[in-house]
Amino acid sequence: MTEPAETTAKSRRRRWPQGYDPQRTRRALVDSSLHLFEQEGFDRTTLQQIVDGANLTKGAFYHHFQSKEDVLWQIQNEYLDTQIKAARAIVEQHSDIADQLRALIRLSLSGVASYRAHVAIFYQERRHLTGEHLRAVTEKRDELEALICGTVQHGIDAGKFRSNVTSRIVTFGIIGMCASAFQWFNPDGTMSVDDVTDQFCTLVLDGLIV
């Protein structure tokens, strides 16, 4: 005998021990989307898969998000907002320009370690953002790049870094090198974030410092 659809939906509905928790519900939907977008891709992930993964209903989804793209935008924001806040603090706190760049490189790698799925989705699925979502994420991406680029340019202007390099090209090199780590870096492996940071900084700073 087929189970009524209403009963099936109720069985999927998450019941929090202390009653409905909007923050935990939203987190469950984002976490389910993170896993699916990384493993299956944005296009191939269905709304039903997202709510099933969160053990929730479509009604719960639409209470928190307007669409799959809305969740994708939220995922991008979680990663970029955290990185921008930390990068601003680094620029403000480090007076030595080499230490500043070293800390920014470490931040980029630690971001890959802590937000691996976010980073993978940022580079592989960002093309699915449109309109205001795309504009807002692009602005945040540009701000993060500008913080790194500003550090490199400051080093060049101060005579600390080589003058025969272009700050924007160096920045793209640093970002590309760090971002690609999501494809191979294992935080639980034999090398730590600090180990990889040291090697990346050797490559970058040995080529920059006068």
8 Å CB contact between 105 and 208: no
Would you state the pLDDT for residue 11?
44
* Helix residue ranges per DSSP H, the chain: 5-12, 22-40, 47-54, 58-64, 68-93, 97-114, 116-125, 131-157, 167-179, 193-208
Instruction: State the DSSP string of 139-180.
Output: HHHHHHHHHHHHHHHHHHHTTSB-TTS-HHHHHHHHHHHHHG
pLDDT at residue 117, as a whole number: 92
Distance CA 87, CA 148 (A): 8
Which residues of the chain carry a pLDDT beneath 70?
1-20
Distance (Å) of CA 22 to CA 25, 28, 60, 71, 156: 5, 10, 9, 15, 49
**pLDDT value at position 2?**
47
Which pTM value belongs to this model? 0.84
The pLDDT of residue 1 is 45
State the pLDDT at residue 185. 87
* pLDDT score recorded for residue 13: 57
